[in-house]
């Protein structure tokens, strides 16, 4: 039986109504000034940037999005016992919603559903913070710290989305690299492969001699490393590829 490792990007979720960043209808393609929404330096240094970033995330289509046919196909691939890694650059949790499990999912860029205090690391539900955002547009940690005279911590709260300039979650790249190298095939689905270190999984796979499939409407810098390039709509092409692979 085959072991397949998969890397997904924003392109798998466009058909679920979440725009990508760099595609033809991408957020940055249309509004280049939005690049700082997920920039950690701006978030840390500027209150206005924080308020904008929070507001932006509150209004994201992510909250009501439902998994599409492509997400469901990857759930079938796991159920068939063929999927060993589902590393995703998305923070929309649509792979979880489609039925893929923690056994295979690695959220390289975190997730929007939870938040944390940047000072004391207290965990928060992002949905809870969003309901109070009108009163508290720049959310701060209210936890009382016994070791500082019961004063509120007052640290900045941030979603668990990995912003540009932040480290990836502990172990995320290591686990992904290991499973990519042990796979029989590596599939890249819906990514421009512009964001590092996630994109480096492709040269890592090539070095290990793992055949690479890139399914993406637009070109990527690693197209030359791919054994198979698929320039079709992911919502159609991925379910087909999965069903063919299960039937093999
Ligand atoms: N859904 C999300 O959670 C979400 C959405 C936007 C951005 N992001 C974040 O932004 C970064 C964006 O980088 P990226 O490489 O993932 O995406 P990207 O925006 O850089 O590229 C998306 C690619 O997908 C292709 N694409 C879009 N719809 C497609 C379709 N239906 N069929 C075939 N191809 C399609 C586009 O041509 C484009 O090349 C990531 O790091 C991610 O964390 C996440
Ligand atoms: Zn705190």
Q: For a substitution probing ligand 1, which of 10, 27, 168 has the most ligand atoms within 8 Å of its CB? A: 10
Same domain, 101 and 121: no
Q: Which domain holds residue 238?
A: 1-18+68-109+168-248
Same domain, 38 and 155: yes
Q: Which residues of the chain fall short of a pLDDT of 50?
A: none
pLDDT in tens, 52-102: 999 999 999 999 999 999 999 999 999 999 999 999 999 999 999 999 999
C-alpha count within 13 angstroms, C-beta hemisphere, residue 2: 20
Q: What is the pLDDT of residue 92?
A: 97
Same domain, 49 and 100: no
Q: Please give the positions annotated as active site.
A: 109
Q: Say if residue 114 is exposed, middle or buried (CB neighbours under 10 Å; 0-12, 13-18, 19+).
A: middle
Same domain, 14 and 94: yes
CATH number at residue 141: 3.30.1600.10
- What is the whole-number distance in angstroms between the Cα of residue 127 and the centre of ligand 2? 18
Residue closest by Cα to atom 32 of ligand 1: 233
Same domain, 121 and 178: no
- What is the whole-number distance in angstroms between the Cα of residue 148 and the centre of ligand 1? 44
pTM of the model: 0.96
Same domain, 90 and 175: yes
Q: What is the pLDDT of residue 85?
A: 98
- What is the whole-number distance in angstroms between the Cα of residue 219 and the centre of ligand 2? 43
Total domains in the chain come to 2
Same domain, 189 and 150: no
Q: What is the pLDDT of residue 214?
A: 98
Same domain, 201 and 231: yes
Same domain, 178 and 56: no
Q: What is the pLDDT of residue 145?
A: 82
Same domain, 150 and 216: no
CATH number at residue 79: 3.40.50.1220
Same domain, 54 and 35: yes
Residue 189 makes CB contacts below 8 A (sequence gap 6+) with 6, 7, 8, 9, 11, 12, 70, 215, 216, 234, 238
Residue closest by Cα to atom 27 of ligand 1: 11
Same domain, 53 and 76: no
155 alpha carbon, closest ligand: 2
């Amino acid at each position: 039986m085959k072991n397949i490792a998969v890397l997904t990007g924003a392109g798998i979720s466009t058909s679920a109504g979440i725009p990508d960043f760099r595609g033809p209808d991408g957020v940055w393609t249309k509004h280049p000034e939005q690049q700082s929404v997920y920039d950690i330096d701006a978030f840390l240094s500027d209150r206005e940037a924080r308020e904008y970033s929070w507001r932006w995330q509150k209004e994201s289509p992510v909250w009501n999005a439902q998994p599409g046919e492509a997400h469901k196909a990857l759930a079938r691939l796991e159920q068939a016992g063929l999927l060993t890694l589902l590393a995703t650059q998305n923070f929309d949790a649509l792979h979880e919603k489609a039925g893929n499990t923690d056994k295979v999912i690695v959220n390289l860029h975190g997730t929007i559903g939870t938040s944390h205090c940047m000072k004391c690391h207290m965990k928060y539900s992002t949905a809870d913070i969003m309901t109070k955002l009108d009163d508290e547009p720049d959310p701060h940690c209210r936890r009382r710290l016994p070791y500082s005279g019961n004063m509120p911590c007052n640290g900045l709260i941030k979603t668990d989305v990995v912003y540009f300039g932040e480290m990836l979650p502990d172990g995320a790249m290591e686990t992904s690299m290991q499973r990519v190298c042990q796979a029989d095939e590596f599939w890249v689905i819906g990514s421009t492969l512009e964001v590092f270190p996630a994109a480096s999984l492709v040269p890592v796979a090539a070095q290990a001699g793992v055949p690479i499939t890139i399914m993406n409407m637009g070109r990527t810098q690693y197209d030359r490393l791919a054994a198979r390039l698929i320039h079709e709509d992911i919502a159609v092409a991925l379910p087909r590829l999965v069903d063919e692979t299960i039937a093999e």
